[in-house]
Structure 1
Amino acid sequence: MTIKIAVNAASGKMGQQVIHQVAANNQTELTAAFCRVGHRLLGRKVGFQDIVYSSDFDSGLSGSEVVIDFSLPEATFPLLDAAVKNNTPLLIGTTGFNSEQTEKIQNAAKSIPILLAPNTSIGVNSALALLTQAAKMLGKKADIEIIEAHHKHKVDAPSGTAIRMGQAIAEAMGEDFDHLKVTDSRFQKCSRNKGEIGMSVIRAGEIIGEHKVLFALDNEIISIEHKAQNRLCFAEGAVSAAAWLASQQPGFYTMQDFISSSH
């Protein structure tokens, strides 16, 4: 039995990777590929498949069991409304949502299963578990710095993954991440305060995605690092998690829920 998957922002770099991964997975089938109105691919075939790029959410979702979204916040919400209307589970890999937008997604999860993931890589989500353990042992003793690097086209900063890493560390320490994070310390003439979680951002070239977390003690440094070699790692995780999400009850899920259920 194959899981029928629709892909939003299908013409984008991540959308294309997800489409290839859906086709490569013998347990999944592409049933719809959405792109914006007026896009040059609209109405054209998706590779060698009998699917055409479309902007009609209702038609595409009616024949799909789950939809994957890697787009921009403003493009996610029309899809969210259509997914609720069509009772279609939704995996959101889009980042850059503010607190009000996140709350809207969480409210929609009362009607359909929604998995919100700032990063769908299995490796990154495994690293989050390691960071939680490190923070419990070292967090109160160390200076913590999160360093993230992405391609020059990425508009949100710090990345959603870096923010989630900071949240995981703060939660493990029993603290509020918003009270500990510092993003502008490099531009101030002052030493860092104890307990801060520093956030450093690099935007350059075509870097896929790199995240490093330093726990710096006075005489030694512990580093936990993840580097994406290509976008396939995100697509693999997204398609596997989407296939799982298709059979879940309405609710708000994370990649940690998927990973814990798989092991």
Structure 2
Amino acid sequence: MALIGIVGNEGAMGQALAEVIAESGHTVAGGIDRGGDVAGLADRSSALVDFSAPAALEANLHAAIGAGIPIVIGTTGLEDRHHTAIDDAARAVPVLQTGNTSLGVTLLAHLVREAASRLGPDWDIEIVEMHHRRKVDAPSGTALLLGEAAAKGRGITLADHSERGRDGHTGARREGAIGFAALRGGTVAGEHSVVLAGEEERITLSHSAENRSIFARGAVRAAEWLIGRSAGRYTMDEVLGI
């Protein structure tokens, strides 16, 4: 049985985590939100799960390091400086950061990487995502995760090949580009499709999230997996063994 601390416990994901932790036979060590004592939470936890905000990441990493416990980071909207901080923390404790903790999305990213690696650059890749009206970042962390999977499959960098926010007379699509489209509305938990469009044929790989509990289940499974491991930066692929 693990003692799992929830960072961002007042949000929808925090509430879903509390339910899943209990269902999994573990114990909620406690929860904090903005301004809470993350160091104190870490001291009484076996692992932290963070679904808070990018601005809180550095403090949450320091708390995990101070307590010597692993941390799962599901917060999206991270920038390069956040990833640098995660890399630094991973030298001291086990860290798993992902744009999506769903086991289904993890497998989808694996399939996208495989498809992109086997199809030539004449197959265009477009990523379409839709989320609820309150989501503040776009493209979603999951869309970027899928874009990175496609780029990795092709042996290219996403930063140099992504196309976003097309509007007006944009000209022809660049060969090898990975396009993104973000839709927002209603209460959609998460819809993602990766379209690979070739000459007179098209492949669509999709995932639908029906409830936030799927992300909570994946995060708890990741926390279970991290406990007892050596310091390092881990991935959901490793949790699934793919």
Q: TM-score range by the shorter chain?
A: over 0.9
* Corresponding residue to 1:35 among 23, 33, 42: 33
Cα deviation, residue 112, structure 1: 0.7
Structural mapping, 1:111-150, within 5 Å:
111-150=92-131
Q: In structure 2, what is the equivalent of residue 10 of structure 1?
A: 9
Do 2:99 and 2:142's aligned partners in 1 also have CA atoms closer than 8 Å? Answer: yes
Q: In structure 2, what is the equivalent of residue 25 of structure 1?
A: 24
Cα deviation, residue 195, structure 1: 1.1
> What TM-score do you get using the length of structure 2 for normalisation?
0.96
Cα deviation, residue 207, structure 1: 1.1
Change (3 A) 1:187 1:104: farther
> Tell me, what secondary structure is at the counterpart of 2:128?
strand
Give the whole-Å Cα distance in 1 for the aligned partners of 2:93 and 2:186. Answer: 38
Give the whole-Å Cα distance in 2 for the aligned partners of 1:7 and 1:177. Answer: 32
Tell whether 2:82 aligns with 1:101: yes
Q: In structure 2, what is the equivalent of residue 163 of structure 1?
A: 144
Give the whole-Å Cα distance in 1 for the aligned partners of 2:150 and 2:37. Answer: 41
Change (3 A) 1:187 1:207: farther
> Tell me, what secondary structure is at the counterpart of 2:134?
coil
Identity %: 36
Q: In structure 2, what is the equivalent of residue 84 of structure 1?
A: 65
Do 1:139 and 1:215's aligned partners in 2 also have CA atoms closer than 8 Å? Answer: no
Q: In structure 1, what is the equivalent of residue 197 of structure 2?
A: 216
Do 2:74 and 2:100's aligned partners in 1 also have CA atoms closer than 8 Å? Answer: yes
> Tell me, what secondary structure is at the counterpart of 2:81?
helix
Do 2:33 and 2:52's aligned partners in 1 also have CA atoms closer than 8 Å? Answer: no
Structure 1 stretches lacking a partner, 5+ long: 38-54
| Per-residue Cα deviation, 1:26-51 (whole angstroms, up to 9, x for no partner) | 2x2111111224xxxxxxxxxxxxxx
Greater shift, 80-89 or 222-231, is seen at 80-89
Structure 2 stretches lacking a partner, 5+ long: none
Do 1:11 and 1:35's aligned partners in 2 also have CA atoms closer than 8 Å? Answer: yes
> Tell me, what secondary structure is at the counterpart of 1:68?
strand
Do 1:32 and 1:61's aligned partners in 2 also have CA atoms closer than 8 Å? Answer: no
> What TM-score do you get using the length of structure 1 for normalisation?
0.89
